Amino acid sequence: MTTSLWHVVGASVQGTAHARQGSPCQDAHGWRGLPGGVLLLAVADGAGSAPRSLDGAQSAVAAVLDALETAFAAPEPPAPDAVLRAAFARARDAVHALANTAGLPAAQFASTLAVAVASADALTVASLGDGAVIAEIGGEMRLVSAPPQKGEYANETHFLTQDGALDVLQVATVAGAARAVAATTDGLLRLALRLPDYAPHAPFFQPLFAFAAQAHPAADAELAAFLASERVAARTDDDKTLLIAVRAAPAGAA
Protein backbone atom coordinates (compact mmCIF):
# COMPACT_ATOMS: atom_id res chain seq x y z
CA MET A 1 0.00 0.00 0.00
CA THR A 2 1.03 3.60 -0.49
CA THR A 3 0.83 6.85 1.47
CA SER A 4 1.68 10.21 -0.05
CA LEU A 5 5.29 9.79 1.13
CA TRP A 6 5.85 6.05 1.52
CA HIS A 7 5.38 2.76 -0.30
CA VAL A 8 4.78 0.00 2.28
CA VAL A 9 4.77 -3.77 1.73
CA GLY A 10 4.44 -6.41 4.44
CA ALA A 11 3.74 -10.08 5.07
CA SER A 12 3.83 -12.67 7.84
CA VAL A 13 4.03 -16.32 6.79
CA GLN A 14 4.01 -19.67 8.56
CA GLY A 15 7.33 -21.45 8.88
CA THR A 16 7.72 -25.00 7.70
CA ALA A 17 8.37 -26.21 11.25
CA HIS A 18 5.01 -24.82 12.37
CA ALA A 19 3.33 -26.29 9.29
CA ARG A 20 4.65 -29.76 10.21
CA GLN A 21 3.40 -29.30 13.78
CA GLY A 22 0.00 -28.00 12.67
CA SER A 23 0.69 -24.68 14.44
CA PRO A 24 -0.34 -21.33 12.96
CA CYS A 25 2.00 -18.50 12.11
CA GLN A 26 2.58 -16.69 15.40
CA ASP A 27 4.02 -13.48 13.91
CA ALA A 28 2.14 -10.20 13.47
CA HIS A 29 2.86 -6.87 11.81
CA GLY A 30 1.21 -3.50 11.21
CA TRP A 31 1.89 0.05 10.16
CA ARG A 32 0.34 3.54 10.15
CA GLY A 33 1.00 6.59 7.99
CA LEU A 34 0.40 9.74 10.02
CA PRO A 35 -0.23 13.35 8.99
CA GLY A 36 3.03 15.15 8.35
CA GLY A 37 4.66 12.11 6.80
CA VAL A 38 5.53 10.22 10.00
CA LEU A 39 5.48 6.46 9.42
CA LEU A 40 5.02 3.82 12.13
CA LEU A 41 6.10 0.19 11.63
CA ALA A 42 5.69 -2.69 14.11
CA VAL A 43 6.50 -6.41 14.03
CA ALA A 44 6.02 -9.04 16.74
CA ASP A 45 6.99 -12.69 17.08
CA GLY A 46 4.92 -14.86 19.40
CA ALA A 47 6.87 -17.32 21.52
CA GLY A 48 6.66 -20.80 20.02
CA SER A 49 6.16 -22.34 23.47
CA ALA A 50 3.27 -20.00 24.38
CA PRO A 51 -0.14 -21.35 23.26
CA ARG A 52 -1.76 -17.91 22.85
CA SER A 53 1.29 -16.08 21.52
CA LEU A 54 -0.36 -15.16 18.21
CA ASP A 55 -3.04 -13.29 20.16
CA GLY A 56 -0.31 -11.64 22.21
CA ALA A 57 1.64 -10.59 19.12
CA GLN A 58 -1.45 -9.17 17.40
CA SER A 59 -2.52 -7.33 20.54
CA ALA A 60 0.96 -5.88 21.07
CA VAL A 61 1.18 -4.57 17.49
CA ALA A 62 -2.29 -3.00 17.58
CA ALA A 63 -1.78 -1.42 21.01
CA VAL A 64 1.67 0.03 20.30
CA LEU A 65 0.48 1.58 17.02
CA ASP A 66 -2.65 3.01 18.68
CA ALA A 67 -0.54 4.53 21.46
CA LEU A 68 1.94 6.07 19.04
CA GLU A 69 -0.76 7.45 16.78
CA THR A 70 -2.45 9.11 19.77
CA ALA A 71 0.83 10.53 21.04
CA PHE A 72 1.82 12.03 17.69
CA ALA A 73 -1.62 13.61 17.31
CA ALA A 74 -0.94 15.84 20.34
CA PRO A 75 -0.23 19.53 19.60
CA GLU A 76 3.29 19.11 21.01
CA PRO A 77 4.16 15.41 21.10
CA PRO A 78 7.07 14.46 23.36
CA ALA A 79 10.39 13.21 22.05
CA PRO A 80 10.18 9.93 20.11
CA ASP A 81 12.27 8.12 22.74
CA ALA A 82 9.74 8.93 25.48
CA VAL A 83 6.82 8.23 23.13
CA LEU A 84 8.13 4.78 22.30
CA ARG A 85 8.79 3.82 25.91
CA ALA A 86 5.27 4.86 26.87
CA ALA A 87 3.82 3.03 23.86
CA PHE A 88 5.59 -0.21 24.83
CA ALA A 89 4.14 0.14 28.32
CA ARG A 90 0.68 0.50 26.77
CA ALA A 91 1.28 -2.58 24.62
CA ARG A 92 2.39 -4.58 27.66
CA ASP A 93 -0.72 -3.47 29.57
CA ALA A 94 -2.93 -4.50 26.62
CA VAL A 95 -1.47 -8.01 26.50
CA HIS A 96 -1.80 -8.40 30.27
CA ALA A 97 -5.42 -7.25 30.04
CA LEU A 98 -6.03 -9.83 27.33
CA ALA A 99 -4.58 -12.53 29.57
CA ASN A 100 -6.68 -11.39 32.53
CA THR A 101 -9.85 -11.50 30.45
CA ALA A 102 -9.00 -15.03 29.32
CA GLY A 103 -8.15 -16.07 32.88
CA LEU A 104 -4.71 -17.27 31.77
CA PRO A 105 -1.12 -16.45 32.76
CA ALA A 106 0.35 -13.60 30.73
CA ALA A 107 3.25 -15.86 29.72
CA GLN A 108 0.85 -17.78 27.46
CA PHE A 109 0.63 -14.61 25.32
CA ALA A 110 4.39 -13.95 25.17
CA SER A 111 5.83 -12.16 22.14
CA THR A 112 8.66 -9.93 21.09
CA LEU A 113 8.06 -6.43 19.69
CA ALA A 114 10.08 -4.11 17.43
CA VAL A 115 8.88 -0.68 16.32
CA ALA A 116 10.19 2.07 14.03
CA VAL A 117 9.14 5.72 13.82
CA ALA A 118 10.36 7.39 10.63
CA SER A 119 10.05 11.16 10.18
CA ALA A 120 11.48 13.71 7.77
CA ASP A 121 14.69 14.10 9.77
CA ALA A 122 15.19 11.01 11.94
CA LEU A 123 14.46 7.35 12.51
CA THR A 124 13.81 6.13 16.05
CA VAL A 125 13.45 2.44 16.82
CA ALA A 126 12.64 0.42 19.91
CA SER A 127 13.10 -3.32 20.25
CA LEU A 128 12.38 -5.93 22.85
CA GLY A 129 13.52 -9.41 21.87
CA ASP A 130 15.17 -10.67 18.73
CA GLY A 131 13.51 -8.67 15.96
CA ALA A 132 15.48 -6.19 13.87
CA VAL A 133 15.04 -2.84 12.12
CA ILE A 134 17.33 -2.09 9.17
CA ALA A 135 17.42 1.20 7.29
CA GLU A 136 19.13 2.90 4.39
CA ILE A 137 20.10 6.43 5.44
CA GLY A 138 22.51 8.67 3.57
CA GLY A 139 23.33 5.86 1.17
CA GLU A 140 24.41 3.56 4.01
CA MET A 141 22.53 0.44 5.10
CA ARG A 142 22.64 -0.14 8.83
CA LEU A 143 21.08 -2.10 11.67
CA VAL A 144 19.36 0.65 13.64
CA SER A 145 17.88 -1.53 16.37
CA ALA A 146 20.10 -3.10 19.00
CA PRO A 147 21.50 -6.55 18.14
CA PRO A 148 18.91 -9.27 18.79
CA GLN A 149 18.54 -9.78 22.54
CA LYS A 150 19.19 -13.15 24.11
CA GLY A 151 17.85 -14.43 27.40
CA GLU A 152 19.56 -16.64 29.94
CA TYR A 153 20.09 -19.38 27.35
CA ALA A 154 21.28 -19.15 23.74
CA ASN A 155 17.90 -20.04 22.24
CA GLU A 156 15.92 -17.65 24.47
CA THR A 157 15.07 -13.99 24.11
CA HIS A 158 13.11 -11.32 25.98
CA PHE A 159 9.32 -11.07 25.77
CA LEU A 160 6.91 -8.22 26.41
CA THR A 161 5.07 -10.15 29.14
CA GLN A 162 8.09 -11.01 31.29
CA ASP A 163 8.86 -9.29 34.58
CA GLY A 164 11.06 -6.25 34.01
CA ALA A 165 10.48 -6.30 30.26
CA LEU A 166 10.56 -2.52 29.93
CA ASP A 167 13.90 -2.41 31.77
CA VAL A 168 15.57 -4.22 28.85
CA LEU A 169 13.84 -2.23 26.11
CA GLN A 170 16.40 -0.81 23.67
CA VAL A 171 15.74 2.56 21.99
CA ALA A 172 17.96 4.23 19.39
CA THR A 173 17.70 7.24 17.09
CA VAL A 174 19.56 7.92 13.85
CA ALA A 175 19.47 11.41 12.35
CA GLY A 176 18.51 11.86 8.72
CA ALA A 177 15.66 10.92 6.41
CA ALA A 178 15.61 7.17 5.82
CA ARG A 179 15.15 6.24 2.18
CA ALA A 180 14.03 2.74 3.14
CA VAL A 181 13.22 0.89 6.36
CA ALA A 182 12.72 -2.84 6.97
CA ALA A 183 11.44 -4.47 10.16
CA THR A 184 11.75 -8.22 10.56
CA THR A 185 11.22 -10.95 13.11
CA ASP A 186 13.98 -13.41 13.93
CA GLY A 187 12.88 -15.97 11.36
CA LEU A 188 14.73 -14.01 8.68
CA LEU A 189 17.85 -13.04 10.60
CA ARG A 190 20.02 -15.68 8.94
CA LEU A 191 19.23 -14.12 5.57
CA ALA A 192 19.04 -10.47 6.61
CA LEU A 193 22.12 -10.07 8.81
CA ARG A 194 25.72 -11.19 8.57
CA LEU A 195 27.05 -12.80 11.71
CA PRO A 196 28.78 -12.30 14.06
CA ASP A 197 28.64 -8.50 13.68
CA TYR A 198 24.93 -8.33 12.70
CA ALA A 199 25.68 -6.13 9.68
CA PRO A 200 22.79 -5.92 7.19
CA HIS A 201 23.21 -8.25 4.21
CA ALA A 202 22.81 -5.73 1.39
CA PRO A 203 22.19 -8.33 -1.39
CA PHE A 204 19.13 -9.47 0.55
CA PHE A 205 17.64 -6.01 1.06
CA GLN A 206 18.52 -4.14 -2.12
CA PRO A 207 16.19 -6.08 -4.45
CA LEU A 208 13.44 -6.05 -1.83
CA PHE A 209 13.68 -2.26 -1.47
CA ALA A 210 13.52 -1.94 -5.27
CA PHE A 211 10.49 -4.26 -5.31
CA ALA A 212 8.70 -2.27 -2.60
CA ALA A 213 9.35 1.00 -4.44
CA GLN A 214 7.19 -0.21 -7.33
CA ALA A 215 4.12 -0.16 -5.06
CA HIS A 216 1.88 -2.37 -7.18
CA PRO A 217 -1.42 -3.75 -5.76
CA ALA A 218 -0.29 -7.38 -5.46
CA ALA A 219 2.95 -6.55 -3.64
CA ASP A 220 1.89 -7.94 -0.23
CA ALA A 221 0.87 -11.27 -1.78
CA GLU A 222 4.07 -11.47 -3.82
CA LEU A 223 6.19 -10.77 -0.74
CA ALA A 224 4.31 -13.50 1.15
CA ALA A 225 4.99 -15.93 -1.71
CA PHE A 226 8.69 -15.08 -1.60
CA LEU A 227 8.87 -15.60 2.17
CA ALA A 228 7.11 -18.97 1.80
CA SER A 229 9.28 -20.07 -1.13
CA GLU A 230 11.58 -23.10 -1.07
CA ARG A 231 14.53 -20.74 -1.52
CA VAL A 232 13.80 -19.06 1.82
CA ALA A 233 12.52 -22.18 3.58
CA ALA A 234 15.84 -23.89 2.85
CA ARG A 235 17.52 -21.31 5.13
CA THR A 236 14.93 -21.06 7.90
CA ASP A 237 11.96 -23.12 9.09
CA ASP A 238 10.65 -20.46 11.49
CA ASP A 239 7.72 -18.10 10.96
CA LYS A 240 8.83 -15.07 8.97
CA THR A 241 7.68 -11.45 8.94
CA LEU A 242 9.05 -8.66 6.78
CA LEU A 243 7.66 -5.12 6.69
CA ILE A 244 9.31 -2.77 4.17
CA ALA A 245 8.79 0.96 3.65
CA VAL A 246 10.45 2.94 0.85
CA ARG A 247 10.16 6.70 0.68
CA ALA A 248 8.24 7.75 -2.42
CA ALA A 249 10.16 9.80 -5.00
CA PRO A 250 9.06 13.45 -5.22
CA ALA A 251 6.67 14.24 -8.05
CA GLY A 252 8.62 14.81 -11.24
CA ALA A 253 11.74 13.04 -9.98
CA ALA A 254 13.56 10.80 -12.42
Q: Which pLDDT belongs to residue 216?
A: 86
- Domain assignment present for 254: no
Q: Which pLDDT belongs to residue 253?
A: 46
- Domain assignment present for 165: yes
**C-alpha to C-alpha distances, 132 to 3, 193, 243, nearest whole angstrom:** 23, 9, 11
- Domain assignment present for 148: yes
- Domain assignment present for 1: no
- Domain assignment present for 252: no
- Domain assignment present for 253: no
- Domain assignment present for 13: yes
- Domain assignment present for 225: yes
pLDDT along the chain (254 residues), means of 10: 82 95 95 92 95 97 97 85 95 98 98 96 96 96 90 72 96 96 96 92 96 91 97 95 90 43
Domain count along the chain:
1
The torsion region of residue 103 among left (phi > 0), alpha (psi -120 to 50) and beta comes to left
Q: Which pLDDT belongs to residue 195?
A: 84
For residue 178, give its domain range: 6-247
- 3-state SS of the chain is CECCCEEEEEEEECCHHHHHHCCCCCEEEEEEECCCCCEEEEEEEECCCCCCHHHHHHHHHHHHHHHHHHHHCCCCCCCHHHHHHHHHHHHHHHHHHHHHHHCCCHHHHCECEEEEEECCCEEEEEEECCCEEEEEECCEEEECCCCCCCCCCCCCCCCCCCCCHHHHCEEEEEECCEEEEEEECHHHHHHHEECCCCEECHHHHHHHHHHHHHCCCCHHHHHHHHHCCHHHHCCCCCCEEEEEEEECCCCCCC
What's the CATH number where 129 sits? 3.60.40.10
